[in-house]
Amino acid sequence: MSRAMICAPQPEAVEIGADILARGGNAIDAAVACAFAQGVADNLMCGIGGFGFAQVYAPLRGVHTTYDFMSTAPASVRGDMWADLLEGETRDGFGFILKGRVNDISYRSVAVPGMLKGYQAMHAGFGKLAWRDVVAPAIALAADGYTVTPFVRQYWVTPERMGRVEIIDRISHVPQARPLYFGADGEPHPVGARVRNPELAATLSIIARDGADSFFHGAIADRIDADFRAHDGLLSRRDLENYRVTERAPIRRAYRGWELAAAPPPASGLMLLKMLGLLAHFDLAALGHNSAAYIRLLAEVMKRAQIDKERHIGDPDFMPIPLEPFTSPELLAAEAAAIKRGERAIVPRVAPKAVESAETTHLSVVDGEGNIVSMTHTLGMQSGVITPGLGFMYNAAMAMFDPRPGRAMSLAPGKKRVSSMAPSILFKDGRPALVIGAPGGSNIPMGILQVILNVVDFGMPIGEAVDAPRMAATGNVIDVSHRIPQRVCEALRRDGYDVLR
């Protein structure tokens, strides 16, 4: 297909998506094929044991929708079952740390994976090619092997420093994981190594032949159920059978003549709406890009959005999500005035630990018919669990549920995990102009926000807008890129801010 574009962090997966477009597939076909391949080549970031959120725009059909395939808490969960195990919370609010790390690495850390149901729903609604044809390239990649890149290798061996289980311990947690990540010498595979995963190739072959239902109702579901029963896991076949994808309309906000279409709860598009609504009260260009005054303003805006996310955003099927804190013109004007007066927001944290990292990935696709997919998908963290013979890592999504009852993200059977994911499309004069999303845990909305501001307020071309150094304030510390000068950081510290560069 001519005049098409696909973007994702994994070159092999992007090439597969581009080939699908060249063979006559549309953006949805390419997105699903690319996502399957990402789950092979970058299998600690995403995969069929994970979950995600996607926005699909199909103008010729008059459709603009989102697909929520977030993980749900298994039916065996009790709201208070971990209340006495709480030790702390990550500094950016991306997860809770429990005694024994039971929510972080173990069969009990796994929530119901919705990934395949999401791919299936998108493809069934919009795909042009046969399902087996969009799965086939990932099967070949798993069978023939993917190349270990410097980023992947670095991720395996870098110390965690986050209060969570080390990555090296996750990838060696069960014997069946070791061939995927370690050589015969016991060392992690080196950069450039070819890693084959015949068990995942066999699993994907079943899915290609029998459809995604084989994972939720068929032979794969039987193997998952037996494995989790044998290891005191929470996940069961009944949870798989009962899983459903939810479609919702995007949420929208006008900003300086543009319009943002963002992902609704339990994703974090509302955070983007709030931050843009607050920033509309300021002349950002006059402050100067990445000046101390600009970063201070963004930090205060980000903290206020983070506070409201943690206070109000949950699973909309379990609780009403108030829109006023995120969209009310009166409340936004009052908060903007408070920022102008120099008032500072404090993000509440329980014994905060170090900041969370980016166990997530994203893809964006546009085709010649104007179809668009913006999809973020992830394992959240890795549970360390691989069912023998299936070849994929499960999510550790239970770590994001609040063990304290009575809160927006508290545990409940069937409840969907809240996410910082925010796959978005920005329109100008009624036409899509920017397709965007990001990995990065709680930093996701903050990164997306800054690229939007770089384009809209500072007039940067997209390459420069993405490459410009960024900052984030998801808690009470401002994290900045090393490319932001020390003099800017020192000015912020003199103003009383804690800055990590």
Q: What angle do CA 368, 373, 374 make, to 5 degrees?
A: 135
Tell me 189's DSSP state. Answer: P
Assess whether the previous peptide bond of 388 is cis (omega < 30° from 0).
no
Coil, strand or helix at 176: helix
Distance CA 399, CA 422 (A): 20
Supply 293's token pair.
């005054």
Tokens 């603009």 sit on residue: 64
The 3-state secondary structure of 68-89, one letter per residue: EECCECCCCCCCCCCHHHEEEE
257 burial level (CB within 10 Å; 0-12, 13-18, 19+) = exposed
The token duo for 269 is 């598009």
Strands (E), 60-207: 63-69, 86-90, 96-98, 146-147, 194-195
Where does residue 218 rank: exposed (0-12), middle (13-18), buried (19+ CB within 10 A)? middle
Cα–Cα distance measured from residue 140 to residue 449, given in angstroms and rounded to the nearest whole number: 37
| Distance, CA of 52 to CA of 376 (rounded, Å) | 6
Specify the amino acid at residue 232: D
Catalytic residues: 360
Q: Left, alpha or beta for 462 (phi > 0: left; psi -120 to 50: alpha)?
A: alpha
The one-letter code for the residue type at 237 is R
Q: What angle do CA 466, 471, 477 make, to 5 degrees?
A: 160
Whether 121 contacts 68, CB under 8 Å: no
* CB-side neighbour CA atoms (13 Å) of 477: 15
Structure tokens at 114: 């919705």
Residue ranges of E strands in 276-355: 352-353
Separation CA 440–CA 446 (nearest Å)? 9
Per-residue tokens: 473: 């304030």
Q: List alpha helices for 162-291, DSSP H.
A: 167-170, 178-181, 198-210, 213-216, 219-230, 237-242, 269-279, 284-287
Give the chain's count of helices (H) and strands (E): 19, 18
Task: Kindly state the tokens that stand for 72.
Answer: 């749900």
